[in-house]
Amino acid sequence: MEDIGELKRKVGALIEEGKSREEIFQFLSPFFQGNPGLEEGIAEGLAHFSRETAVGVLLLMSRKTGDKKVQKTIRRSLYRLKSKGIPVVETDVGKDRSILRPLQTEPLQGFGTGFDLHGERLLMLVIPHAGRGWSVMHGVVNDTRGLLNFIGEEMSRREFRDFFDRFREKIPLALVEMEASYVGFLFSCAYRLTLEKKGTPPQDYLRLKGEIERARREYDRPLIYALLSSEEISGDERWLDRAEELLKDDLFAGWGIEEDLARSYAEAITAAQESKLFLSQDQKQARIEEICLKALMEVFSDEMRSLFKHRLEETSYLLHRQGKEEEARISLSAAMDLGKPLNPISPNPFLLQLVARSVLALASEAYEKEKREPSLIVRP
């Protein structure tokens, strides 16, 4: 998939070369097929080119797209260009649309949650069928084991509405609207991983596999890279510097280091706190920070970093879909930093804070448990 930042630069070069709006739109059209997220990003980017050609491209996009979010972004970009003094012939918008159009089928819908402690998330794909109800498919996927469960049901529109409301209330994680073709892609990736791990795919998935394959598109990397420019983010250190802030967001509430990995470091912190040696508060704090850094360097192997990089990329997409663009940029910046070896001098701030939270929580839990349990030792 083309990087949106690179695509914007190519569009800018074509405008500078004096290409017509038709030539530029023809260049962009193949990238827009089934990808309203990318279309929306280009529509937003065109507002930065103070040329009549940019207006022309936006007007052509408006005539061809049926996506409401893209239309809204186009109108916003046209307004910005008009504010800069670029003439906008507003009556052009939509004039090429036919009065007689076939009835539109209901659009596919996709939803997903963030990850929990174990790398699991829930996905939902809804495929309407004209005249015969909707296929509603939902399942839990794991980023190391694949497809854990999957259920497919046929429902009417009303049944789905009631089901969805009840479903959203039952699950502990927020359900975020996603690109349906991307949800289909994530399901198919989980299915392939299940086969690689010699697992048995759920029967409902096998029954509905054809529908999922028709709904999905192939993506060569996480969808967030079509919405945010990786080059712009990597060139701005302020995003990575703010990575600790991510743990305040609900999408990261269940993140942490699993107990069996964190236990020995939690015990080391408890020992440091209970040491009979006289240590100042600053010395104890320095010892805790030393233990957390040691945990970071030892726990996060190349494989673990790769897992958390992917989780951060996927969560960046969910943040973007929620309208939290700054948080999305921070999450993507933290993810991209994990593509490099860990540096003990300048550790990844998100991972370091995550490790500290996990280890300190476990140490605190052990301390509280010890206080509650009666001691069998008779002290003199």
Q: Is residue 100 part of a domain?
A: no
Could you say which of 92, 127, 157 is where a domain stops? 92
* Residues 66 and 197 placed together within one structural domain of the fold: no
Could you say which of 92, 125, 157 is where a domain stops? 92
* Residues 235 and 367 placed together within one structural domain of the fold: yes
* Residues 255 and 363 placed together within one structural domain of the fold: yes
38, 41, 45, 229 from 5: Cα distances, Å:
10, 9, 9, 5
Q: Is residue 245 part of a domain?
A: yes
Q: Is residue 51 part of a domain?
A: yes
* Residues 171 and 47 placed together within one structural domain of the fold: no
Higher pLDDT, 364 or 114: 114
Task: Residue 142: give the domain boundaries.
Answer: 109-215
pLDDT at 373: 57
Indicate the range of 41-45, 91-95, 281-285, 358-362 predicted with least confidence. Answer: 91-95
Q: Is residue 318 part of a domain?
A: yes
* Residues 186 and 239 placed together within one structural domain of the fold: no
Residue 216: pLDDT above 80? Answer: yes
- Evaluated on CA atoms 31, 123, 194, 314, the torsion sign reads positive
* Residues 134 and 243 placed together within one structural domain of the fold: no
Residue 111: pLDDT above 60? Answer: yes
Indicate the range of 89-98, 194-203, 221-230 predicted with least confidence. Answer: 89-98
d(CA 88, CA 91): 9
Which among 6-15, 99-108, 244-253 has the top mean pLDDT?
Answer: 244-253
pLDDT at 30: 78
Percent of the chain with pLDDT over 70: 89
Q: What is the mean pLDDT of residues 216-237?
A: 90
Tally of domains within the chain = 3
Grade residue 23 by pLDDT with cuts at 50, 70 and 90.
confident
Which helix (H) or strand (E) segment holds residue 369: the answer is helix 349-372
* Residues 61 and 190 placed together within one structural domain of the fold: no
pLDDT at 374: 52
Q: What is the mean pLDDT of residues 33-55?
A: 83
* Residues 29 and 69 placed together within one structural domain of the fold: yes
pTM of the predicted protein model: 0.70
- What is the average pLDDT value for the chain, to the nearest integer? 86
Residue 102: pLDDT above 70? Answer: no
Q: Is residue 346 part of a domain?
A: yes
* Residues 345 and 236 placed together within one structural domain of the fold: yes
Grade residue 367 by pLDDT with cuts at 50, 70 and 90.
low
Grade residue 368 by pLDDT with cuts at 50, 70 and 90.
low
Q: Is residue 378 part of a domain?
A: no
d(CA 54, CA 48): 9
Helix (H, G, I), strand (E, B) or coil at 228: coil
Q: Is residue 380 part of a domain?
A: no
* Residues 27 and 64 placed together within one structural domain of the fold: yes
* Residues 255 and 202 placed together within one structural domain of the fold: no
HSE-up of 238 (CA within 13 Å, CB side)? Answer: 3
Q: Is residue 64 part of a domain?
A: yes
* Residues 261 and 194 placed together within one structural domain of the fold: no
pLDDT at 150: 98
d(CA 121, CA 65): 31
pLDDT at 2: 57
